[in-house]
Amino acid sequence: MSPTCRAFRLLLERRLAGRATRERLSDLAWHEHLFACLDCRALLEDEEALESLLASLPEPRLAPVVRQRVLARLRFAREEEWLDRMLDRAVSDAPPANLACGVLAGLAWRRAEERLDHLLDRDQVEVPAGLSARTLAALSLARRPRRVAARFVAFAAAAAALAAIAWIAWPRRAETGRATVDLAQGSEAVVRPVAPSAVAPVDEDVLAAFDVLENWDVLVSDDVETLLGTLPADDAATLDGFEEEG
Amino acid sequence: MDTTYLDDPGVRLMLAWRAGDETAFDRLVETYSGQVWALLTRFLPGQAGREDLVQEVFLRVIRARDRYEPTARFSTWLYRIVFNLAVNETQRAGAREVGTQGLGSQAAELGDGLSRMADDRVLDPSDRLEHDDAVVAVRAAIQELPEQQRMALILAKFDEMPYADIAVVLGSSEKAVKSLVHRARENLRERLAPFLKGELA
Protein backbone atom coordinates (compact mmCIF):
# COMPACT_ATOMS: atom_id res chain seq x y z
CA MET A 1 0.00 0.00 0.00
CA SER A 2 1.43 3.33 -1.04
CA PRO A 3 1.84 6.24 1.39
CA THR A 4 -0.90 8.15 -0.39
CA CYS A 5 -3.24 5.13 -0.05
CA ARG A 6 -2.39 4.96 3.66
CA ALA A 7 -3.06 8.67 4.06
CA PHE A 8 -6.40 8.38 2.29
CA ARG A 9 -7.51 5.37 4.35
CA LEU A 10 -6.59 7.21 7.52
CA LEU A 11 -8.78 10.06 6.40
CA LEU A 12 -11.59 7.63 5.60
CA GLU A 13 -11.25 5.98 9.00
CA ARG A 14 -11.54 9.36 10.72
CA ARG A 15 -14.74 10.06 8.82
CA LEU A 16 -16.12 6.69 9.82
CA ALA A 17 -15.21 7.20 13.47
CA GLY A 18 -17.29 10.34 13.70
CA ARG A 19 -20.87 10.86 12.75
CA ALA A 20 -20.46 8.97 9.50
CA THR A 21 -23.13 9.40 6.88
CA ARG A 22 -23.14 8.51 3.26
CA GLU A 23 -23.08 12.20 2.43
CA ARG A 24 -20.01 12.87 4.52
CA LEU A 25 -18.24 9.98 2.86
CA SER A 26 -19.31 11.14 -0.59
CA ASP A 27 -17.34 14.32 -0.06
CA LEU A 28 -14.23 12.19 -0.20
CA ALA A 29 -15.08 11.08 -3.73
CA TRP A 30 -13.40 14.26 -4.99
CA HIS A 31 -10.18 13.46 -3.21
CA GLU A 32 -7.35 13.69 -5.74
CA HIS A 33 -5.95 10.31 -4.64
CA LEU A 34 -9.02 8.54 -5.97
CA PHE A 35 -8.40 9.71 -9.55
CA ALA A 36 -5.32 7.51 -9.58
CA CYS A 37 -6.24 4.66 -7.17
CA LEU A 38 -9.07 2.33 -8.09
CA ASP A 39 -8.71 0.23 -4.91
CA CYS A 40 -9.28 3.16 -2.65
CA ARG A 41 -12.18 4.33 -4.81
CA ALA A 42 -13.76 0.86 -4.54
CA LEU A 43 -13.24 0.90 -0.79
CA LEU A 44 -14.90 4.27 -0.46
CA GLU A 45 -17.86 3.07 -2.55
CA ASP A 46 -18.24 -0.04 -0.41
CA GLU A 47 -18.13 2.00 2.78
CA GLU A 48 -20.76 4.35 1.39
CA ALA A 49 -22.99 1.40 0.50
CA LEU A 50 -22.44 -0.17 3.90
CA GLU A 51 -23.42 3.10 5.57
CA SER A 52 -26.61 3.07 3.54
CA LEU A 53 -27.40 -0.49 4.55
CA LEU A 54 -26.72 0.16 8.21
CA ALA A 55 -28.85 3.29 8.07
CA SER A 56 -31.70 1.23 6.57
CA LEU A 57 -32.03 -0.80 9.77
CA PRO A 58 -35.18 0.27 11.56
CA GLU A 59 -34.73 2.04 14.87
CA PRO A 60 -35.74 -0.37 17.64
CA ARG A 61 -38.36 1.30 19.80
CA LEU A 62 -39.46 0.16 23.20
CA ALA A 63 -43.26 0.02 23.29
CA PRO A 64 -44.70 2.16 26.12
CA VAL A 65 -46.65 -0.83 27.44
CA VAL A 66 -43.42 -2.80 27.77
CA ARG A 67 -41.73 0.09 29.52
CA GLN A 68 -44.61 0.31 32.00
CA ARG A 69 -44.49 -3.43 32.58
CA VAL A 70 -40.76 -3.29 33.28
CA LEU A 71 -41.23 -0.30 35.59
CA ALA A 72 -43.94 -2.10 37.54
CA ARG A 73 -41.80 -5.21 37.99
CA LEU A 74 -38.82 -3.11 38.99
CA ARG A 75 -40.91 -1.29 41.60
CA PHE A 76 -41.75 -4.62 43.16
CA ALA A 77 -38.10 -5.66 43.05
CA ARG A 78 -37.08 -2.38 44.69
CA GLU A 79 -39.59 -2.88 47.48
CA GLU A 80 -38.18 -6.33 48.08
CA GLU A 81 -34.66 -4.97 48.01
CA TRP A 82 -35.63 -2.12 50.39
CA LEU A 83 -37.19 -4.58 52.78
CA ASP A 84 -34.08 -6.73 52.71
CA ARG A 85 -31.90 -3.76 53.48
CA MET A 86 -34.18 -2.66 56.34
CA LEU A 87 -34.09 -6.15 57.79
CA ASP A 88 -30.31 -6.23 57.48
CA ARG A 89 -30.10 -2.95 59.33
CA ALA A 90 -32.55 -4.15 61.97
CA VAL A 91 -30.30 -7.11 62.60
CA SER A 92 -27.34 -4.79 63.08
CA ASP A 93 -29.56 -2.73 65.43
CA ALA A 94 -28.83 0.51 63.62
CA PRO A 95 -31.93 2.63 62.98
CA PRO A 96 -32.65 3.15 59.26
CA ALA A 97 -31.50 6.59 58.25
CA ASN A 98 -34.62 7.48 56.33
CA LEU A 99 -37.13 6.58 59.01
CA ALA A 100 -39.02 9.67 60.06
CA CYS A 101 -38.53 10.98 63.59
CA GLY A 102 -42.21 10.35 64.29
CA VAL A 103 -41.85 6.70 63.36
CA LEU A 104 -38.77 6.37 65.53
CA ALA A 105 -40.55 8.04 68.45
CA GLY A 106 -43.50 5.70 67.98
CA LEU A 107 -41.20 2.70 67.90
CA ALA A 108 -39.42 3.93 71.04
CA TRP A 109 -42.75 4.41 72.84
CA ARG A 110 -43.96 0.95 71.90
CA ARG A 111 -40.70 -0.61 72.88
CA ALA A 112 -40.77 1.28 76.18
CA GLU A 113 -44.22 -0.07 77.00
CA GLU A 114 -43.13 -3.58 76.19
CA ARG A 115 -40.02 -3.17 78.34
CA LEU A 116 -42.12 -1.83 81.19
CA ASP A 117 -44.52 -4.74 81.06
CA HIS A 118 -41.61 -7.09 80.95
CA LEU A 119 -39.97 -5.48 83.98
CA LEU A 120 -43.14 -5.39 86.03
CA ASP A 121 -44.26 -8.87 85.10
CA ARG A 122 -40.96 -10.47 85.92
CA ASP A 123 -39.82 -8.21 88.75
CA GLN A 124 -36.74 -7.58 86.70
CA VAL A 125 -34.95 -4.68 88.27
CA GLU A 126 -31.70 -4.45 86.36
CA VAL A 127 -31.59 -1.96 83.51
CA PRO A 128 -31.65 -3.85 80.22
CA ALA A 129 -28.66 -3.11 78.03
CA GLY A 130 -29.27 -0.75 75.15
CA LEU A 131 -32.07 1.29 76.69
CA SER A 132 -31.73 4.78 75.33
CA ALA A 133 -32.46 7.95 77.25
CA ARG A 134 -35.60 8.36 75.14
CA THR A 135 -36.77 4.88 76.04
CA LEU A 136 -36.05 5.48 79.71
CA ALA A 137 -38.01 8.68 79.57
CA ALA A 138 -40.90 6.84 77.98
CA LEU A 139 -40.62 4.16 80.68
CA SER A 140 -40.73 6.77 83.35
CA LEU A 141 -43.85 8.34 81.88
CA ALA A 142 -45.57 5.00 81.63
CA ARG A 143 -44.54 4.15 85.15
CA ARG A 144 -45.65 7.33 86.87
CA PRO A 145 -49.35 6.53 87.37
CA ARG A 146 -48.44 3.16 88.79
CA ARG A 147 -45.96 4.69 91.23
CA VAL A 148 -48.53 7.21 92.45
CA ALA A 149 -51.11 4.45 92.82
CA ALA A 150 -48.67 2.24 94.70
CA ARG A 151 -47.82 5.02 97.15
CA PHE A 152 -51.48 5.82 97.70
CA VAL A 153 -52.28 2.18 98.41
CA ALA A 154 -49.36 1.94 100.84
CA PHE A 155 -50.48 5.05 102.67
CA ALA A 156 -54.08 3.87 102.82
CA ALA A 157 -52.98 0.44 104.00
CA ALA A 158 -50.85 1.92 106.76
CA ALA A 159 -53.72 4.10 107.94
CA ALA A 160 -56.14 1.18 107.82
CA ALA A 161 -53.70 -1.01 109.73
CA LEU A 162 -53.33 1.54 112.50
CA ALA A 163 -57.07 1.88 112.73
CA ALA A 164 -57.47 -1.89 112.87
CA ILE A 165 -54.88 -2.28 115.60
CA ALA A 166 -56.55 0.40 117.66
CA TRP A 167 -59.95 -1.20 117.06
CA ILE A 168 -58.82 -4.70 118.10
CA ALA A 169 -56.50 -3.66 120.87
CA TRP A 170 -59.18 -1.73 122.84
CA PRO A 171 -61.62 -4.57 123.64
CA ARG A 172 -58.77 -7.09 124.24
CA ARG A 173 -57.21 -4.86 126.89
CA ALA A 174 -60.57 -4.56 128.68
CA GLU A 175 -61.10 -8.34 128.56
CA THR A 176 -57.64 -9.07 129.94
CA GLY A 177 -58.55 -7.10 133.05
CA ARG A 178 -61.41 -9.46 133.68
CA ALA A 179 -59.71 -12.75 132.78
CA THR A 180 -58.38 -15.11 135.48
CA VAL A 181 -55.61 -17.70 135.18
CA ASP A 182 -55.68 -20.73 137.48
CA LEU A 183 -51.97 -21.35 138.10
CA ALA A 184 -52.63 -23.95 140.82
CA GLN A 185 -54.12 -26.44 138.38
CA GLY A 186 -50.88 -27.20 136.69
CA SER A 187 -48.76 -26.15 133.88
CA GLU A 188 -51.60 -25.91 131.47
CA ALA A 189 -52.55 -22.37 131.57
CA VAL A 190 -56.13 -22.03 130.78
CA VAL A 191 -57.29 -18.71 129.69
CA ARG A 192 -60.89 -18.30 130.29
CA PRO A 193 -62.52 -17.88 126.97
CA VAL A 194 -63.85 -14.57 126.18
CA ALA A 195 -67.48 -14.61 125.47
CA PRO A 196 -68.09 -13.89 121.81
CA SER A 197 -70.73 -11.47 122.72
CA ALA A 198 -68.19 -9.47 124.64
CA VAL A 199 -66.01 -8.81 121.52
CA ALA A 200 -67.09 -6.56 118.71
CA PRO A 201 -67.30 -8.34 115.36
CA VAL A 202 -64.19 -7.85 113.19
CA ASP A 203 -64.83 -5.67 110.22
CA GLU A 204 -64.12 -7.21 106.80
CA ASP A 205 -62.32 -4.05 105.78
CA VAL A 206 -60.00 -4.41 108.68
CA LEU A 207 -59.16 -7.96 107.70
CA ALA A 208 -58.48 -6.74 104.22
CA ALA A 209 -56.18 -4.14 105.68
CA PHE A 210 -54.26 -6.90 107.41
CA ASP A 211 -53.92 -8.66 104.11
CA VAL A 212 -52.40 -5.51 102.77
CA LEU A 213 -50.03 -5.34 105.70
CA GLU A 214 -48.92 -8.90 105.07
CA ASN A 215 -47.81 -7.71 101.64
CA TRP A 216 -46.23 -4.60 103.00
CA ASP A 217 -42.78 -5.69 101.93
CA VAL A 218 -43.89 -5.95 98.38
CA LEU A 219 -45.41 -2.52 98.51
CA VAL A 220 -42.34 -0.84 99.90
CA SER A 221 -39.80 -2.72 97.81
CA ASP A 222 -40.52 -0.57 94.83
CA ASP A 223 -39.04 -2.00 91.67
CA VAL A 224 -39.02 1.41 90.20
CA GLU A 225 -36.88 2.92 92.90
CA THR A 226 -34.45 0.05 92.61
CA LEU A 227 -34.32 0.50 88.89
CA LEU A 228 -33.69 4.20 89.27
CA GLY A 229 -30.91 3.50 91.71
CA THR A 230 -29.08 1.39 89.19
CA LEU A 231 -29.25 3.91 86.35
CA PRO A 232 -26.13 5.62 85.01
CA ALA A 233 -25.88 9.22 86.16
CA ASP A 234 -26.65 10.62 82.69
CA ASP A 235 -29.83 8.62 82.28
CA ALA A 236 -30.94 9.43 85.82
CA ALA A 237 -30.44 13.12 85.06
CA THR A 238 -32.48 12.72 81.88
CA LEU A 239 -35.27 11.10 83.87
CA ASP A 240 -35.18 13.79 86.54
CA GLY A 241 -35.46 16.44 83.87
CA PHE A 242 -38.32 14.55 82.27
CA GLU A 243 -40.19 14.13 85.54
CA GLU A 244 -39.79 17.79 86.32
CA GLU A 245 -41.29 18.60 82.95
CA GLY A 246 -44.10 16.14 83.63
CA MET B 1 -15.79 11.46 44.64
CA ASP B 2 -14.85 12.01 40.98
CA THR B 3 -16.61 15.20 39.89
CA THR B 4 -15.85 14.86 36.15
CA TYR B 5 -19.20 13.33 35.30
CA LEU B 6 -21.48 15.17 37.72
CA ASP B 7 -23.03 17.11 34.82
CA ASP B 8 -24.20 13.91 33.16
CA PRO B 9 -28.00 13.69 33.58
CA GLY B 10 -27.88 9.95 34.25
CA VAL B 11 -25.19 10.35 36.88
CA ARG B 12 -27.24 13.08 38.56
CA LEU B 13 -30.31 10.84 38.66
CA MET B 14 -28.31 7.91 39.95
CA LEU B 15 -26.77 9.99 42.74
CA ALA B 16 -30.16 11.47 43.63
CA TRP B 17 -31.60 7.98 43.86
CA ARG B 18 -28.68 6.80 45.96
CA ALA B 19 -29.32 9.75 48.27
CA GLY B 20 -32.90 8.60 48.79
CA ASP B 21 -34.96 10.16 45.99
CA GLU B 22 -36.94 7.11 44.89
CA THR B 23 -38.56 8.93 41.96
CA ALA B 24 -35.09 9.37 40.42
CA PHE B 25 -34.93 5.67 39.69
CA ASP B 26 -38.22 5.75 37.77
CA ARG B 27 -36.85 8.63 35.72
CA LEU B 28 -33.69 6.65 35.06
CA VAL B 29 -35.74 3.75 33.73
CA GLU B 30 -37.94 6.04 31.66
CA THR B 31 -34.91 7.80 30.19
CA TYR B 32 -32.61 4.86 29.53
CA SER B 33 -34.82 1.80 29.04
CA GLY B 34 -35.37 2.73 25.38
CA GLN B 35 -31.62 2.88 24.76
CA VAL B 36 -31.07 -0.40 26.56
CA TRP B 37 -33.81 -1.99 24.49
CA ALA B 38 -32.31 -0.64 21.25
CA LEU B 39 -28.84 -1.85 22.14
CA LEU B 40 -30.10 -5.31 23.08
CA THR B 41 -32.19 -5.52 19.92
CA ARG B 42 -29.20 -4.67 17.76
CA PHE B 43 -26.85 -6.94 19.63
CA LEU B 44 -29.26 -9.88 19.90
CA PRO B 45 -31.66 -9.39 16.96
CA GLY B 46 -34.68 -11.67 17.07
CA GLN B 47 -33.75 -12.87 20.53
CA ALA B 48 -36.73 -13.82 22.69
CA GLY B 49 -37.02 -12.41 26.18
CA ARG B 50 -35.45 -9.02 25.54
CA GLU B 51 -37.99 -7.50 27.92
CA ASP B 52 -36.64 -9.71 30.68
CA LEU B 53 -33.13 -8.65 29.78
CA VAL B 54 -34.04 -4.96 30.04
CA GLN B 55 -35.50 -5.72 33.44
CA GLU B 56 -32.39 -7.63 34.45
CA VAL B 57 -30.16 -4.70 33.45
CA PHE B 58 -32.05 -2.39 35.79
CA LEU B 59 -32.14 -5.01 38.52
CA ARG B 60 -28.36 -4.95 38.38
CA VAL B 61 -28.52 -1.17 38.66
CA ILE B 62 -30.67 -1.59 41.77
CA ARG B 63 -28.20 -4.01 43.28
CA ALA B 64 -25.31 -1.63 42.52
CA ARG B 65 -27.02 1.34 44.17
CA ASP B 66 -24.96 1.53 47.33
CA ARG B 67 -21.60 1.02 45.70
CA TYR B 68 -22.19 3.20 42.63
CA GLU B 69 -19.46 5.73 41.89
CA PRO B 70 -19.64 8.13 38.93
CA THR B 71 -16.42 7.08 37.24
CA ALA B 72 -17.91 7.39 33.74
CA ARG B 73 -20.98 8.75 31.98
CA PHE B 74 -24.07 6.91 33.18
CA SER B 75 -24.82 5.48 29.75
CA THR B 76 -21.26 4.12 29.54
CA TRP B 77 -21.65 2.43 32.92
CA LEU B 78 -25.10 1.14 31.97
CA TYR B 79 -23.93 -0.20 28.60
CA ARG B 80 -21.19 -2.12 30.31
CA ILE B 81 -23.90 -3.93 32.28
CA VAL B 82 -25.83 -4.51 29.05
CA PHE B 83 -22.75 -5.87 27.31
CA ASN B 84 -21.88 -8.30 30.11
CA LEU B 85 -25.47 -9.46 30.32
CA ALA B 86 -25.82 -9.81 26.53
CA VAL B 87 -22.62 -11.84 26.27
CA ASN B 88 -23.84 -14.15 29.05
CA GLU B 89 -27.16 -14.48 27.26
CA THR B 90 -25.42 -15.33 23.98
CA GLN B 91 -23.42 -18.05 25.69
CA ARG B 92 -26.52 -19.41 27.43
CA ALA B 93 -28.44 -19.37 24.15
CA GLY B 94 -25.56 -21.24 22.53
CA ALA B 95 -25.68 -23.87 25.25
CA ARG B 96 -29.45 -24.13 24.91
CA GLU B 97 -29.10 -24.58 21.16
CA VAL B 98 -26.68 -27.45 21.63
CA GLY B 99 -29.06 -29.04 24.12
CA THR B 100 -32.04 -28.60 21.85
CA GLN B 101 -30.22 -30.23 18.93
CA GLY B 102 -29.68 -33.21 21.17
CA LEU B 103 -33.38 -33.53 21.78
CA GLY B 104 -34.19 -33.79 18.11
CA SER B 105 -35.77 -31.66 15.48
CA GLN B 106 -39.30 -31.87 16.87
CA ALA B 107 -38.26 -30.36 20.16
CA ALA B 108 -36.23 -27.76 18.31
CA GLU B 109 -39.28 -26.73 16.29
CA LEU B 110 -41.30 -26.48 19.47
CA GLY B 111 -38.57 -24.34 21.06
CA ASP B 112 -38.47 -22.05 18.04
CA GLY B 113 -42.24 -21.73 18.15
CA LEU B 114 -42.16 -20.80 21.81
CA SER B 115 -39.40 -18.30 21.18
CA ARG B 116 -41.43 -16.71 18.43
CA MET B 117 -44.48 -16.56 20.69
CA ALA B 118 -42.42 -14.98 23.47
CA ASP B 119 -41.03 -12.43 21.07
CA ASP B 120 -44.44 -11.64 19.65
CA ARG B 121 -45.31 -10.22 23.07
CA VAL B 122 -42.85 -7.40 22.53
CA LEU B 123 -42.85 -7.17 18.77
CA ASP B 124 -42.83 -3.54 17.75
CA PRO B 125 -43.60 -2.18 14.28
CA SER B 126 -39.92 -1.89 13.42
CA ASP B 127 -39.46 -5.62 14.04
CA ARG B 128 -42.09 -6.40 11.44
CA LEU B 129 -39.90 -4.87 8.75
CA GLU B 130 -37.66 -7.90 9.17
CA HIS B 131 -39.12 -9.38 6.02
CA ASP B 132 -37.08 -6.97 4.04
CA ASP B 133 -34.23 -9.10 2.70
CA ALA B 134 -31.53 -6.48 3.06
CA VAL B 135 -32.52 -5.76 6.65
CA VAL B 136 -32.50 -9.48 7.47
CA ALA B 137 -29.10 -9.88 5.79
CA VAL B 138 -27.57 -6.89 7.60
CA ARG B 139 -28.88 -8.09 10.95
CA ALA B 140 -27.61 -11.59 10.32
CA ALA B 141 -24.21 -10.25 9.29
CA ILE B 142 -24.00 -8.14 12.44
CA GLN B 143 -25.02 -11.08 14.59
CA GLU B 144 -22.28 -13.21 13.08
CA LEU B 145 -19.63 -10.76 14.20
CA PRO B 146 -17.61 -11.72 17.27
CA GLU B 147 -19.14 -10.18 20.41
CA GLN B 148 -16.57 -7.43 20.96
CA GLN B 149 -16.56 -6.37 17.31
CA ARG B 150 -20.34 -6.39 17.28
CA MET B 151 -20.69 -4.23 20.38
CA ALA B 152 -17.93 -1.86 19.26
CA LEU B 153 -19.56 -1.38 15.87
CA ILE B 154 -23.07 -0.90 17.29
CA LEU B 155 -21.93 1.65 19.87
CA ALA B 156 -19.79 3.52 17.36
CA LYS B 157 -22.30 3.51 14.52
CA PHE B 158 -25.72 3.67 16.18
CA ASP B 159 -24.98 5.30 19.51
CA GLU B 160 -22.21 7.53 18.16
CA MET B 161 -20.22 6.76 21.24
CA PRO B 162 -16.58 7.95 21.36
CA TYR B 163 -13.99 5.21 21.17
CA ALA B 164 -12.75 6.09 24.65
CA ASP B 165 -16.21 5.35 26.11
CA ILE B 166 -16.58 2.18 24.08
CA ALA B 167 -13.26 1.08 25.55
CA VAL B 168 -14.79 1.47 29.04
CA VAL B 169 -17.83 -0.56 28.02
CA LEU B 170 -15.71 -3.37 26.63
CA GLY B 171 -13.05 -3.16 29.30
CA SER B 172 -10.52 -2.53 26.58
CA SER B 173 -8.28 0.24 25.21
CA GLU B 174 -9.18 2.99 22.75
CA LYS B 175 -6.67 1.63 20.26
CA ALA B 176 -8.20 -1.85 20.52
CA VAL B 177 -11.66 -0.40 19.93
CA LYS B 178 -10.48 1.36 16.78
CA SER B 179 -9.15 -1.94 15.55
CA LEU B 180 -12.36 -3.76 16.50
CA VAL B 181 -14.51 -1.30 14.55
CA HIS B 182 -12.19 -1.49 11.58
CA ARG B 183 -12.34 -5.31 11.51
CA ALA B 184 -16.09 -5.30 12.05
CA ARG B 185 -16.62 -3.11 9.01
CA GLU B 186 -14.27 -5.28 7.02
CA ASN B 187 -16.25 -8.39 7.97
CA LEU B 188 -19.53 -6.71 7.12
CA ARG B 189 -18.24 -5.61 3.72
CA GLU B 190 -17.30 -9.20 2.95
CA ARG B 191 -20.54 -10.75 4.14
CA LEU B 192 -22.75 -8.15 2.58
CA ALA B 193 -20.87 -7.92 -0.70
CA PRO B 194 -23.90 -8.81 -2.90
CA PHE B 195 -26.04 -6.22 -1.16
CA LEU B 196 -23.32 -3.60 -1.43
CA LYS B 197 -23.24 -4.05 -5.21
CA GLY B 198 -27.00 -3.72 -5.30
CA GLU B 199 -26.82 -0.61 -3.16
CA LEU B 200 -24.25 0.91 -5.45
CA ALA B 201 -26.29 0.07 -8.51
Instruction: Among A56-65, A76-85, B124-133, name the most confident range.
Output: A56-65
* Cβ-nearest to A53 among B20, B34, B192: B192
Average pLDDT over residues B136-141: 92
Average pLDDT over residues A199-221: 54
CB B170 within 8 A of CB B84: no
Confidence at residue A233, expressed as pLDDT on a 0 to 100 scale: 74
Average pLDDT over residues B75-93: 92
Task: List CB contacts (< 8 A) between B42 and chain A.
Answer: 57, 60
Tens digit of each residue's pLDDT (9 = 90 or more) over A215-240 = 544 444 455 566 556 667 776 676 66
Among A43, A61, A79, which would you mutate to test the B interface (most chain B Cβ atoms within 10 Å of its Cβ)?
Answer: A61
Q: Which of residues 161-180 of B touch A (CB under 8 A)?
A: 163, 178
In terms of C-beta density within 10 A (0-12 exposed, 13-18 middle, 19 or more buried), how is residue B41 classed? buried
ipTM of predicted assembly, 2 dp = 0.78
Residue A16 has pLDDT above 90, yes or no: no
DSSP symbols for chain B: ---TTTTSHHHHHHHHHHTT-HHHHHHHHHHHHHHHHHHHHHHSTT-TTHHHHHHHHHHHHHHTTTT---SS-HHHHHHHHHHHHHHHHHHHHHHHHHHHHHH-HHHHHHHHHHHHHHHHTT--GGGGGGGSHHHHHHHHHHHHS-HHHHHHHHHHHTS---HHHHHHHHTS-HHHHHHHHHHHHHHHHHHTHHHHHHHH-
Task: List CB contacts (< 8 A) between B132 and chain A.
Answer: 56
Average pLDDT over residues A98-117: 59
Task: List CB contacts (< 8 A) between B180 and chain A.
Answer: none
Task: List CB contacts (< 8 A) between A21 and chain B.
Answer: none
Q: d(Cα B53, Cα B55) in Å, to the nearest integer?
A: 5
**Residue A74 contacts B, CB cutoff 8 Å:** yes
Confidence at residue B148, expressed as pLDDT on a 0 to 100 scale: 96
In terms of C-beta density within 10 A (0-12 exposed, 13-18 middle, 19 or more buried), how is residue A32 classed? exposed
CB A125 within 8 A of CB A119: yes
Confidence at residue B77, expressed as pLDDT on a 0 to 100 scale: 96
Instruction: Among A15-29, A217-231, B60-74, name the most confident range.
Output: B60-74
As a whole number, the mean pLDDT across chain B is 84
Cα-to-chain-centroid distance, residue A95 = 7
Confidence at residue A150, expressed as pLDDT on a 0 to 100 scale: 61
More confident residue, A230 or B154: B154
Residue A15 has pLDDT above 70, yes or no: yes
* Cβ-nearest to B192 among A50, A66, A75: A50
Confidence at residue B53, expressed as pLDDT on a 0 to 100 scale: 94
As a whole number, the mean pLDDT across chain A is 67
Prediction pTM value: 0.58
Question: Looking at chain B, which residue has its C-alpha nearest residue A96?
Answer: B20
To the nearest whole Å, the CA of B51 is away from the closest chain A CA by: 7
Q: In this complex, do B124 and A63 lie within 8 Å of one another by their Cβ atoms?
A: yes
What residue type is assigned to position A75 of the chain?
Answer: R
Confidence at residue A191, expressed as pLDDT on a 0 to 100 scale: 45
* Cβ-nearest to B182 among A13, A48, A67: A13
